[in-house]
Structure 1
Amino acid sequence: MNLEFRFLSIDYIDTIVDMVFLLDNEDISKSVLKTRFKEMFTQNYECIGIYASDKLIGVCGLWYMTRHYSGKSVEIDHVIINEDLRGKGLGKKLFIWLDNYLKTKQVETIELNTYTGNTDSHKFYYNEGFKILGFHFLKTL
């Protein structure tokens, strides 16, 4: 399968929100997601579209920052590939592309979070060279 990776601007916000909504966001409405994504695009955020034969089949967000413990870093957020295309090596191709792209931006480390129950992703990320550094805590105010 021939893949192409394209940067998606805020002009694609409805398409991005539709894809992210598939991530198990029953508690977050599409309108709230849209509001949040509009703000995200103002905060060192990029969105990558994953295309096969000119059809969008996935998205991946990137947050840029510098951290005291890891230097210039990117946090990969909301990696989504259409469910019927998972397990076909597309994630591997995405991460090869990401590694090459992020090296051109002099990024030193890549971070990400994954839901504790998403054990398939854990195996994938281990195989991609990630290690568990700690726990991600969330407190709603």
Structure 2
Amino acid sequence: MAFIFKIIDNKDIESVIPLVEKLNNYQISYETLKRRFSEMIAQNNYECAVIYNGERLIGVSGLWYCTRHYSGRSVEPDHVYIDEAYRNKGLGKQFFNWIYNYVKEKGYEAVELNTYVSNAPSHKFYFNEGFKILGFHFLKKL
């Protein structure tokens, strides 16, 4: 299979919403995700990487850019999702290698991320990618 990895144009951002809905078990409405993605793009420190198999969108990862005192210029992959039919075939590794190369060329020196506590398969994947647990992610809804 010939997969295409690329940064999606901001005008096409709605095309990733069905995959992000699946990631969140449809607990966040399409309209809410549409509004949030619009706000995310407007912040100017976000890009969205995707995977296509031909014309079919099969994977997504947001990329948040920032500079942190402890890691320098860093990128945070977010809402990473690959269609179930394409998992466990090395595609996640290919996607992350593409992301590493892409952000390194942009001058970034670190990758850090969060993953849901309940998503054990992702934990194994990220450990295998060389990620280390640095801390805890806390959330308080206001």
TM range (shorter): over 0.9
Q: Give the structure 1 partner of residue 50 of structure 2.
A: 49
> Could you report, residue by residue, the CA deviation over 1:21-46 in whole angstroms, capped at 9, with x for unpaired residues?
01124332110110000010122100
Within 5 A, what are the aligned runs for 1:10-89? 10-43=10-43, 44-89=45-90
Identity of aligned pairs, percent? 57
The size of the alignment, in residue pairs, is 141
> Could you report, residue by residue, the CA deviation over 1:89-141 in whole angstroms, capped at 9, with x for unpaired residues?
10000011111111101111101110111111101000101000000000000
Q: Give the structure 1 partner of residue 109 of structure 2.
A: 108
Give the SS at the match of 1:61: strand
C-alpha deviation, 1:7, in angstroms: 1.5
TM-score, structure 2 as length reference: 0.94
Q: Could you tell which deviates more after superposition, 108-117 or 46-55?
A: 46-55
2:21–2:27: 8 Å Cα contact kept in structure 1? no
Q: Give the structure 1 partner of residue 127 of structure 2.
A: 126
2:58–2:82: 8 Å Cα contact kept in structure 1? yes
In structure 2, how many angstroms separate the alpha carbons of the residues matched to 1:54 and 1:121? 26
User: Where does structure 1 differ by over 3 angstroms across 4 or more consecutive aligned residues?
Assistant: none
